[in-house]
Structure formats: structure tokens, C-alpha cells
Amino acid sequence: MTRVGVAATASYLPDRWLTAAEIGEASGIPEQVLVEKFGLRGKHIAAADEHVSDLAVAAGERLLAEYGVEPASIDVVMYFGSMWKDYPVWQAAPWIAHRLGCANAYAIEYDNVSCGTPVALRIARDLLVAEPELRTVLAVAACRESYLLDYRNERSRFMFNFGDGAAAALLVADGGANELLGSHGITDGSLSLQVKVPSGGSVDPEGPHRWLDVADPAAMKERLDEVSLPNFVAVAERALERSGAGLADVSYLCGIHMKRSMHDALVATLGVDPARTHYLDDTGHMSGVDPLLVLDRAARAGELQDGDLVLLLAAGTGYTWAASVVRWGPVR
């Protein structure tokens, strides 16, 4: 049986940092509320000429350079970040692979929303297990959705934490370290029309509404209050079960940025030591990037020890909850 390891990670954040005070000025939400309730001290904002492909390439280049990986050795380049990219109908993965020098890579696209990281790891693992001739997958994600926000629109205020950034991971067949184990996902399609950019698609191709919006915030909140925490727990438990483990075995949580109260409730419900996670109050939420950024930060800070069971957990509008599990350290 092929074992798949997370051999390397890297991340990239744009230079500009928008403070909570600046977000407060634009939105009318007091800075204290943004910091304490939204859990947002600030977030990174891409430059006007810095697009999703640029962010993804920056993270990919950092990974290849830091770990001494020859670009031509990459078998697959997978883009799994925000679906709002440089152009409205376009694949980013081939352009990213070309710019990284991955001349022998098969480029595939898994553009998604905030559930991105756990699902991308699941897909990459399945691909490497199913096709033995493939040995490496470079998975890259980026988000530039700060540019999709209208701070005057109160219906979309829960998304005012959206920021910009990118992350990358190298998945290796029989790599010998940081084994990628089980995954699981749950989808509630009843919420699929709640969060969207209303105009620009075939339903309303010429409409003016080109920013993220929420159709019915009260109905969405009511449904999420009912199912979100139980679904987070359910996907975590199932992914851990598929890994031969349980919640009590989780050593580190890599999640998405969410409001502080929900984060604290999730950590408590999962039974994770609050010191064994990382809250992204300096970046906000970056679509599918968050859990991989947390993993990269934890690895670089020396917070992960051999044998640690790492839970990568996310949820995205649609609505899908997803989890993947990594056993840190040498494969046993």
C-alpha cells in the first residue's frame, strides 16, 4: 500500500497589512469589536497588480527553493485555492506550473472555497495511491478575496475578515515522513445559494453586483448555528476513525479563521489543548489557505513533535465541512 507524506510546506503573505482600525473605518464596525468578536487584529492585502497566480507562485517558489526540490521532478501541480482568479473563465494551474518551471508536471485545477486544504490533501493522496507512476504532487492555493468585499454591505459583514495569501504543500508517495492518513467530508447543499457573487455568471451576466453577498443572513445564521459545530466534530471523528484514532489522540489543530467565540467553542468541543492550535488573528480568513498556513507556521515554530497527530479542519460556503489527518514525523 502506497503511503503518502507531506514532505514540505511553505506560505506567502503580501506586504500590505490592513489593521483592524482601518477595517473599522471602512465598515463602521468599532475596532474593539473587530479584535474581540471577529478575532481580527488585521489582514494582508495583495497589491493591485498581485493576482492569485502571483500569490500561488510565490508560495510554490519558496517551497521549492527552501527544500531544494528540482521543479522538473514534480509530477502534478494542483491549484486548490479561491475560484476567483486572474480571469473569470480560466485555469490557474497550468500557468502556475509553467512559471515554477515544473515542465514535466500534469496541471490540474481544484479551485474551491474555504474547505480547500483538507479536501486537496485527500485528492492528492488518492491520486498518488491510485496511480503508482506518479510520485509527487505540488499543491498550491491562494486567495485574493479581500477585493470582493463591499464594507458598506452589512449582509456580508461576517466576511469582512477575508484577507489575501497563499500556501503550498509537497505530497510524496512513500516519502517516509508526515504521513497523510484519513479524510472525511459532509455537505449541506441547502445553503449553496446563500453566499455568492451575484453577477457575472450565466444567471446574471451583465449585473452590477460584483461583490460577495449573502442572500438571507438571518436564515443562514440560524442553519449554521444548528449544524456547524456538530458537523465539524463529525468530520473530525470520521477522519480520525479512518486513521485508526479518536479525538483524544489529536495533538494539534490546524483550522480556519472564524470568529473568536466559535473558535473557542470548537477547540473546547474537540478537547484540544488551546495552546496546541494557532489562531489567525493577524491574517483573517483566506479561502482554502488557512489550515495549510497554520501547519506551515507550526512546523517552522518547532511546535510539532514526532508522533503528533495533526487534524486539519475546515468548512466552506456551499456548505461543506472537511477534515484530514497527518501523523507528524517518520512513518512508523
Q: Using one digit for the tens of pLDDT, what is the confidence trace for 13-42?
A: 999 999 999 999 999 999 999 999 999 999
Return the pLDDT at 260.
96
Residue 260 vs residues 61, 161, 281: alpha-carbon distances, Å: 33, 12, 9
Rounded percentage of the chain residues whose pLDDT exceeds 90: 97
Average pLDDT over residues 220-247: 97
State pLDDT tens for residues 191-230: 999 999 999 999 999 999 999 999 999 999 999 999 999 9
What pLDDT sits at residue 176? Answer: 79
pLDDT score for 145: 98
Report CA torsion sign: 273, 43, 183, 59.
Answer: negative
Domain spans of the chain, in order of start: 4-175, 180-330
Q: Looking up cell 486539519, which residue turns up?
A: 312
pTM: 0.97
Does the domain at 4-175 match CATH 3.40.47.10? Answer given as yes
- Taking every pair of C-alpha atoms in the chain, what is the biggest distance, in angstroms? 56
**Angstrom distance (rounded) from CA 326 to CA 309:** 6
Contact in structure between 222 and 188 (CB atoms under 8 Å)? no
Instruction: Give residue 183's pLDDT.
Output: 98
Neighbours of 157 (CB within 10 A): 16
Q: Is a pLDDT exceeding 90 seen at residue 285?
A: yes
Q: What percent of the chain has pLDDT over 70?
A: 100
32-86 pLDDT, tens digit each: 999 999 999 999 999 999 999 999 999 999 999 999 999 999 999 999 999 999 9
R_g of the chain computed on alpha carbons? 19
Range 180-330 has CATH code 3.40.1160.10: no
Model confidence at 4: pLDDT above 70: yes
Res. 332 pLDDT band, cuts 50 70 90:
low
> Across residues 142-161, what is the average pLDDT?
97
Domains 4-175 and 180-330 share a fold: yes
With contact defined as beta carbons under 8 Å apart, do 301 and 95 qualify?
Answer: no
Q: What does the alpha-carbon distance between residue 211 and residue 275 come to, in Å, rounded to a whole number?
A: 36
Per-residue model confidence (pLDDT) at position 70: 98
The pLDDT value recorded for residue 331 is 72
User: What pLDDT does 10 receive?
Assistant: 98
CA contacts within 13 A on the Cβ side of 37: 10
Mean pLDDT of the chain: 97
